[in-house]
Amino acid sequence: MTLSPAPIIDLMEAFRRSKAMFAAVSLGVFDALAEGPATASGLSLRLKTNAEALERLLDACVALQLLEHREGAFMNSPLADRYLVRSSPDALTGYIRYSDDALYPMWAHLDDAVREATPRWNQTFGWSGSLFDNFFQTEERKREFLMGMHGLGRWTSPVVVRAFDLSRFKILADLGGATGHLAIAACEAWPQLRAIVSDLAEAIPIANEQIVKSPARDRISVMAADFFKDDLPAADLYALGRILHDWQESRIEMLLSKIFKALPPGGALLIAERLLDEDRSGPLGAYMQSLNMLVCTEGRERTFSEYERLLKRAGFINVRGERTGRYLDAVFAEKTAEKN
């Protein structure tokens, strides 16, 4: 039997598909077509591009099912209208722009990241420090990144907060809560719950913008704080959404210990992360994300048992994990109800 090279060829060409979408977002194709169908020539005048070259990109986006082509005019697919138009509440364009502007060039140095086990900010851009130091340098970058995370969070947080029974908890503190999507989803799902979105001061105005749109807005407040340096807000339930994968174990142990001490007896911690399979066979997306963490942070993705070990070491009990079927999975751990 002839062994086909198709999987290898697909991997060789995979970056072309990503870059085609990145370029269409960057040029404003989907935003322009949100206003109505247009021909390639008409769109090229609005976007100030070469008409023939733009048509090639538009045809590629049709093949990618991001656009549709009818009677000589191009229009957004429902998928693009929801996730690729900047004005959509579910837009992923901020994370796409971050992927294009920052991650794409840094991944060109993946081999060096593997050799040295350090992020590629300095090698790629001449920057030192963390992802947050670098990508929050301008208001535009900060907003795009946070709103990209918000679009993703609107899809993942509703299932994360329903993965476990949270009906006994009164106050949720979402640490590093960014735009508040997890706190919003939790308060909308659990009517007895009040929430505090805690993040760096730079994120608070954007969180307020999103919280006010929620029907649960009267039960959600904000707090500017650095969870490593400042006191944690009082709560009987803490949440960490896409936080632990940014850090080495020593930093994680410090944070988990701090949360455990702050919790009252019977309190708990909810974690949203991508879980690797215990046999290290997948999921593919989680392994690609783990490589991404190698390129841009000091962290990595982990298996449930690795999170369980870290949590039990901090004092937590009854550690459970749930696959949500979406981009993020959920881990839940409790503090004993007995007072020490």
Q: Find, among 331, 143, 130, the residue nearest to 240 by Cα.
A: 331
CA 206 vs. chain centroid, Å, equals: 16
Please, are residues 301 and 243 in contact by the beta-carbon 8 Å criterion?
no
DSSP assignment of 251-278 equals HHHHHHHHHHHHSPTT-EEEEEEPEEPT
Q: Say whether the peptide bond before residue 7 is cis (omega within 30 degrees of 0).
A: no
Length of the chain: 340
Please, are residues 54 and 90 in contact by the beta-carbon 8 Å criterion?
no
What is the identity of the amino acid at 256? Answer: L
The helix/strand/coil state of 302 is strand
- H/E element, 320: strand 317-322
Annotated catalytic residue: which of 109, 150, 181, 245?
245
What are 127's strand-pairing partners? none
d(CA 287, CA 155): 21
Compute CA distances 325 → 17, 101, 188, whole Å: 24, 29, 21
Please, are residues 47 and 39 in contact by the beta-carbon 8 Å criterion?
no
Active site residue 245: yes
d(CA 204, CA 11): 40
Compute CA distances 41 → 19, 50, 55, whole Å: 22, 8, 8
Residue numbers annotated as active site? 245
